[in-house]
Amino acid sequence: MNILNQNIVSGAVMAVAFLCLPLSEASAAQHRISGPGIENGEEIREQLDRMGYYDEDVTGYFNFVTSNAVTRFQEDYGLPPTGIVGPMTEMKLENVEMMAKIVHGEARGESFIGQVGVAAVILNRIEASGFPDSTEEVIFQRNAFTAVNDDQYLLTPTKSSYDAVKEAMKGEDPTMGAVFYYNPAGVSDDWIFSRTVLTQIGRHFFAE
């Protein structure tokens, strides 16, 4: 196939992908189909790389390598596998990033299952009464997470932290529904001891 025909086929593939987008993705994707229109495109590429979705070196622009990485992310997180970063995909990426930062800040010294537990607590709070109902609001609720207060939230998550978030989002919950966790050695408010402990994973007690 010569270069002209390759370009025609490539353009057709991208056009079909665009037409197959859900309306919420397609309406915002017109200027994003080649990637540079995404304001935080570089951050997204770096995040996908940290998560292990690149089989090749990350480039400074949106190409089929990045499109494949986006598709793999979408497949893992139950999104339409379009290979294009529209509103739903961007929101999911942001939520995963926030959760991974908490997992890394709060449980990077714990076992993988302990990291999954921390991620599961975030999701359990979103579903529970008495807590905010979005990832961002739960994470940044006043004094909810030590990692936010002491700026460990600003550290770059490892792949293990992202993998733990993915497992929790798939429904894994080793905490048995806990909405609190704590390390007894670091407790500054005895109130937490009034909560019923459901299980212990590593140094963390998980409670309802």
Distance in angstroms (rounded) separating the CA atoms of residues 36 and 34:
6
Q: Are residues 121 and 77 in the same domain?
A: no
Task: Please give the Cα distance from 82 to 22 (Å, whole number).
Answer: 9
Give residue-wise pLDDT tens across range 84-142.
999 999 999 999 999 999 999 999 999 999 999 999 999 999 999 999 999 999 999 99
Residue 57 is classified by DSSP as P
- H/E stretch holding 49: helix 41-51
pLDDT in tens, 15-35: 334 334 444 444 443 333 334
For residues 122 and 200, membership in a common domain is answered with: yes
Domain range enclosing 160: 94-207
Q: How far apart are CA 149 and CA 26, in angstroms?
A: 38
Which span out of 9-13, 51-55, 175-179, 190-194 was modeled with the highest average pLDDT?
A: 175-179
- d(C-alpha 156, C-alpha 147), whole Å: 12
Structurally, how many domains does the chain consist of?
2
The overall pTM is greater than 0.75: yes
Domain boundary among 41, 66, 85: 85
Mean pLDDT value of segment 46-74: 85
Instruction: Tell me what the mean pLDDT of segment 167-181 comes to.
Output: 97
Count the neighbouring beta carbons within 10 Å of the beta carbon of residue 49: 15
Distance CA 37, CA 146 (A): 36
Domain boundary among 34, 58, 85: 85
Residues 80 and 106 grouped into a single domain: no
